[in-house]
Structure 1
Amino acid sequence: MDLRFITRRHYSLLLCGVIIYLIYGTLLVTAIEVYAPEDAFFENGTTGTLKCSFKSKEVVSSGASVTWSFAPEGATDNPTSFFYYTGGKSYPGSLAQFEKRVNWVGDLNKKDASIQVAQMQFSDNGTYWCDVKNPPDITGSASHIKVRVVIKESLPQTSPAIIAVGVIAAVICLIVIAVVTYFIIRRQEPSHGYDGCNSNDTISSQTLRQGKKAESSMESSRCSSPSAPVQGPVIYAQLDHSGNKNSSAFHKVEPVVYADIRKN
């Protein structure tokens, strides 16, 4: 009895330990995930939007913060923060290069941490890091974007006109495919019209009909056998009383007399 009590107590303690470990382990591995595009191209002198979003298992609180950092192209040093946002307020960083040029356009409640940089310059080429913290989700890696500031002629061809042409071409291709598919299906459908028959079909059909007629004649003769005595042949005779032997007077003959000879 004592051994059973000790065993149950050990099992209870072990189960509690496992539950605590799972809860604590889950809290440890909980991390915030930050997303940003790999590359971004901007025309010189225009306003560029640096997009950044995040995913957190915790409700976004007032303690959530966003830090943007920058490293010039070819630099080997660690990036330098130039923008910080928390509690609904933004704070400029230590880089004079971005002074009064950065605006917050994100929304933490929508998991958006994007910013805009006005008057993009060639000196803005480099790598930008977006880092988001949402306590207790404070672990996670920052996401980075490689920015290229170029002249208008060097921008990737993604204008609305090109996009519209691509959409129209795709629609035309779909219509052509649908029409071709329709005609292919129509050709593969079996023809239900009458195409006539060849000589072999005609002969075989006639033979089949003759055989059927013969069979039907035999069946009718078997089925229509009279129960009365069989009568002999019926003789039809025309009697001419005019006495004229000329065949042209055949129309003056008397009515036909029927003679019926029966076998007794």
Structure 2
Amino acid sequence: MEPSGLRTPCSLLALVLLSALVLTPTLAIEVYTDREVYGTAGSRVTLSCSFWSSEWISDDISVTWHYQPDHSREMYSIVHFAKGLSSIDAGIFKDRIEWVGSPKWKDASIVVHNLELTDNGTFTCDVKNPPDVVGKSSYVHLQVQEKGPARAGLILGIIIAVALALVIVVTILILLIRYCWLRRKARVQRELSALERGKLHKAKDSSKRSSRQTPILYAMLDQTRGKSSEKKAKGGIGDSRKDRK
């Protein structure tokens, strides 16, 4: 038999290891979805769901989608994925739901086709990846609208775009007209200034010519005056001689 003193430490060590394994905290799986998704009646919409797990993606991973209509407390299971296969529950969304997720890529999304106004409600995505099974589900609210508002919004957007385009075109035309007017005005001013400079130049030339011709005219006048005075003097001498005779 072993001494009781050796048996006690071994028992304590086993108890510590067992408690460590049992009490080791596990990380909770986290699921993410949009909070609100809008769709149009008759179209389709994708309800995205992704997740994060601290464990490797196992073959036992499972995904479940639930649906709760607005103004109702009842919840319906609509999609279930397990063991690599997806199953669509017949009911409200019969032949209108498609599984498009890929758990290996941490994607658990679905597509709802041919939306109806009665599809408004809350969709819940729940993912389990054993042994990581602790975590909260994530929900997304679907709001289906009629086609009328969408078309009205499209028409309004087109009208606004056309109005903005017209404003831009008119602004460009105004700027071009103003540019051409300013350019023409500058050209006219240059021509007028050139004409004024030409007139001033001609006036200066004429003044110079007149200043040059003035002494010549005075000299010619002096010569004519001298000649006339000489003629008068000669005429006076001739008259005096005649008187003497």
When the two structures are superposed, what TM-score results if normalisation uses the length of structure 1? 0.50
1:32 is the counterpart of 2:29: yes
- Equivalent residue for 1:68? 65
Larger Cα Rg: Structure 1 or Structure 2?
2
Paired amino acid for 1:72: P
Of 99, 116, 128, which aligns to 2:111? Answer: 116
Give the conservation status (yes or no) of the 8 Å contact 1:67–1:85.
yes
- Equivalent residue for 1:46? 43
Higher relative contact order (CA 8 A, sep 6+): 2
Equivalents in 2 of 1:35, 1:11: separation in Å?
A: 48
Equivalents in 1 of 2:136, 2:54: separation in Å?
A: 15
- Equivalent residue for 1:133? 128
- Equivalent residue for 1:17? 15
Percent of paired sites with the same residue: 36
**How much does 1:133 deviate?**
1.4
Task: Show the 5 A alignment for 1:143-154.
Answer: 143-151=138-146, 153=149
Paired amino acid for 1:136: P
Paired amino acid for 1:55: W
**How much does 1:20 deviate?**
2.5
**How much does 1:61 deviate?**
1.8
**How much does 1:106 deviate?**
1.1
- Equivalent residue for 2:192? none
Equivalents in 2 of 1:94, 1:139: separation in Å?
A: 29
Paired amino acid for 2:102: D
**How much does 1:116 deviate?**
0.5
When the two structures are superposed, what TM-score results if normalisation uses the length of structure 2? 0.54
**How much does 1:83 deviate?**
1.1
Give the conservation status (yes or no) of the 8 Å contact 1:40–1:148.
yes
Q: Secondary structure at the match of 1:22?
A: helix
Q: Secondary structure at the match of 2:24?
A: helix
Task: Show the 5 A alignment for 1:89-100.
Answer: 89-95=85-91, 97-100=92-95
1:81 is the counterpart of 2:77: yes
**How much does 1:15 deviate?**
4.6
Paired amino acid for 2:129: N
1:215-261 residue CA offsets vs partner (Å, 9 max, x unmatched): xxxxxxxxxxxxxxxxxxxxxxxxxxxxxxxxxxxxxxxxxxxxxxx
Give the conservation status (yes or no) of the 8 Å contact 1:103–1:116.
yes
Q: Secondary structure at the match of 1:148?
A: strand
Give the conservation status (yes or no) of the 8 Å contact 2:64–2:127.
yes
Instruction: Tell which deviates more after alignment, 108-117 or 59-68.
Output: 59-68
* Structure 2 unaligned residues grouped into runs of 5+: 158-245
Give the conservation status (yes or no) of the 8 Å contact 1:83–1:91.
yes
1:86-121 residue CA offsets vs partner (Å, 9 max, x unmatched): 2232211142x2111111111101111001111111
Give the conservation status (yes or no) of the 8 Å contact 1:33–1:140.
yes
Q: Secondary structure at the match of 1:98?
A: coil
Aligned length, in residue pairs: 150
- Equivalent residue for 1:57? 54
**How much does 1:9 deviate?**
6.6
Give the conservation status (yes or no) of the 8 Å contact 2:117–2:146.
no
CA RMSD of aligned residues (A): 2.8
Q: Going by fraction, where is helix more abundant, 1 or 2?
A: 2
Of 132, 139, 142, which aligns to 2:137? Answer: 142
Equivalents in 2 of 1:102, 1:122: separation in Å?
A: 16
Paired amino acid for 2:83: G
